Structure 1
Amino acid sequence: MANLIMFGILAVVIIGSALMCVMTTRIMRAATFMLFVLLGVAGLYFLLDYTFLGAAQVAVYAGGVTMIFVFAIQLVSKRSLQGTIERIKLSRVLWGGLLSVIGCAVVILVLLKNQFMYTAMAMPDEEVPMKKIGMALVGADKYQYILPFEFISLFLLACIIGGLVIARKEENK
């Protein structure tokens, strides 16, 4: 029962912070709310007793990625951030809502077609050992994740370099 209550609290924190992250007009507040989302996801990992994944979530995403965003925000001059409040247009809200409903419908149809919900509801007889999860994260075989991690690291490096180039162009003017 305590796990269910804790899951509810974490779910409310994650959903609320995610909504505030995309709805705020201040960029530093958005980065802060994103930090709370990532910490909430780490809390879910800890709740599932996946301490390695929870610690990796806190160290890599909540710590590393959020700091990259904060440093990128600080690299951009205050002049370029002033007056960047975007006005919300009704047409954009309607298009966003329509696309969200279409996306949700597609996800639900795929889940129902593949009978994912029925297999997910069936309780497994045994837990997945941590060694198997670790091998899936660092393996290069089919259904293993080392290549996506490498692509993400290259993408983050390109974002950092792009942020530095943009910041350097601002200083030369």
Structure 2
Amino acid sequence: MRRLSFNHAQGQVPGPGTLLAGLLLLLVAGVLLAVYNQLAADNAALQQQVQARQAMIAPAGAAPDKVALASKQASSAELAQAQAQIQTPWLPLLNTLEKVQQPQLYWMQLAPDAKRKHIRMTVLAPHRKQGWALVERLKQQPGLADVKLNTSESTDVNGVIMTTLQLEAGWRY
């Protein structure tokens, strides 16, 4: 069996410049650690002073907190009332509109008004008859009431003449 011979260079002891640089870096790290510890202690003392001052001010500020709490409760009650009035039954409304959808019709706008239970729609149709058929299909839907065609006009959309329909309907959800 052959003997393996590793050809490697012998290690050398670092020179005095490298040793001096290492010791200098170690000394700087120690100084930075001492400065960090001093800053952390000063920060803790300042936080205690701030908490003590806030504790002295807190009894005098107790009355405005009650007023602020009352105003927050009043605004949250108003917000809850507004949310109850604004709630729109999106799922049943969109399901009803999907039932009457045709591939050539393009829904451009749906604007519901939850207070009046009313929706305004803008639809693009390639032919006027398709728009009128949409109105008839909407009138047959049990979830919609008072379906009206407000306006019907021809519109140029990218060089194609389309019919723009403005519709209104009420919902029963």
Check whether TM > 0.5: no
Name the one with the larger strand percent: 2
Could you tell me the TM-score, scaled by structure 2's length? 0.21
Name the one with the larger helix percent: 1
Larger Rg belongs to: 2
Could you tell me the TM-score, scaled by structure 1's length? 0.21
